[in-house]
Amino acid sequence: MGDMKEETSEMVIGEHAIETVSVDKTTNNEFVSENTTTELEFSEKETFDEILSENKTVESVCEKETKEAVPEETAKETVTEKKLVVVFVLGGPGGGKSTQCAKIAKEVGYTHLSSGDLLRQTIKSDPVNGPMIEAMIKEGKSVPPDITMEILQKAIEESGNDKFILDGFPRDEEIRAAFESATKTEPELVLFFECSEEERERRILSRNQGRVDDNSESVRKRFRYFQEHTLPVVDYYKRKGLVLQIDAGRLEEEVFETLKSILGPSTTMQAEEAPITEELGKKISELGL
């Protein structure tokens, strides 16, 4: 065997770029290294920075072409999967949630969605599910999670927003779990409207909104459902430090000013360690939570 020689290839960047390519040949059982030199011309590229600049330009063009090539379906999925910012507002029926949420949502640029209002709209517009939803609302029961989530997600997508105040939602642990699973989202904050049953019943029976569940019999069923199914949701989020309690028994303007101090543009949403009122503590104790 002959001697083996090894050449080192170099790239010189400047007026010219020189590339040395090593080619191996075998002749008469001897291993010979032959150097072949290829000269690459870089027209009007005097510096390494200029070469990098061109590479970035090429990358930008490729990125633009890739974005333009994304199918419409894929683009829609991307919008749907964007991060949602959600505030849940819970409390017993008649606590003034919808009234306050409608006002504060406009103040802070959120979209207000009431699960109850959405379901009542569906009663009128959906001949298939409408009768079933109406019957369940009259009985003070919860509509199946799959139907509720379908209605809610449609409203979220049609809003064009990614920030929401959801009042009266979630009503129970089943729909809470369904929401978090479907949206991969937990609420930023849970506002709990605390108001006595007596005051809430008085408000419900004195209002005239034509709701199928605004009567004494339905009110009692709704109150019972709230205690048995919604309070556990409040307790679940309280253990996570996300609940802020609101005294909803006060005058409407006073409650609104409190909400502005919590959700206003200049404030940061943050749950505080709110004391459990005697009434709430009693209800939680009765449920064994």
Instruction: Map 211-265 to HEC letters.
Output: CCCCCHHHHHHHHHHHHHHHHHHHHHHHHCCCEEEEECCCCHHHHHHHHHHHHCC
With a cut of 80, say whether residue 57 has pLDDT above it.
no
Most distant CA pair in the chain, distance: 110
Sign of the Cα pseudo-torsion (126, 129, 131, 136, in order) = negative
Q: Which of 77-86, 171-180, 273-282 has the lowest mean pLDDT?
A: 273-282
With a cut of 60, say whether residue 197 has pLDDT above it.
yes
What is the rounded distance in angstroms from the CA atom of residue 3 to the CA atom of residue 173? 80
What is the token pair recorded at 124? 């009128």
With a cut of 70, say whether residue 238 has pLDDT above it.
yes
Pairing of strands 30-40, 85-91: unpaired
* H/E segment holding residue 166: strand 163-167
pLDDT tens digits, 96-133: 999 999 999 999 999 999 998 999 999 999 999 999 99
pLDDT tens digits, 35-53: 444 444 444 444 444 434 5
What is the rounded distance in angstroms from the CA atom of residue 110 to the CA atom of residue 122? 22
- Residues across the chain: 289
C-alpha dihedral over 263, 267, 271, 275, to 10 degrees? -90
pLDDT tens digits, 70-103: 444 443 343 345 689 999 999 999 999 999 999 9
What is the rounded distance in angstroms from the CA atom of residue 287 to the CA atom of residue 289? 6
Residue type present at position 197: E
What is the rounded distance in angstroms from the CA atom of residue 144 to the CA atom of residue 148? 6
Q: Under 8 Å CB-to-CB from 133, ≥6 apart: which residues?
A: 119, 122, 123, 126, 143, 147
Q: Which of 21-25, 145-149, 270-274 has the lowest mean pLDDT?
A: 21-25
pLDDT-based confidence at 247, cuts 50/70/90? Answer: very high
**Domains, the chain, with CATH or none:** 17-69 (no CATH), 76-286 (3.40.50.300)
CA atoms within 13 A on the CB side of 73: 0
With a cut of 80, say whether residue 245 has pLDDT above it.
yes
Q: Residue holding tokens 């449609």?
A: 154
Record the pTM: 0.64
pLDDT tens digits, 260-270: 999 976 444 55
What is the rounded distance in angstroms from the CA atom of residue 139 to the CA atom of residue 117? 16
Residue type present at position 162: D
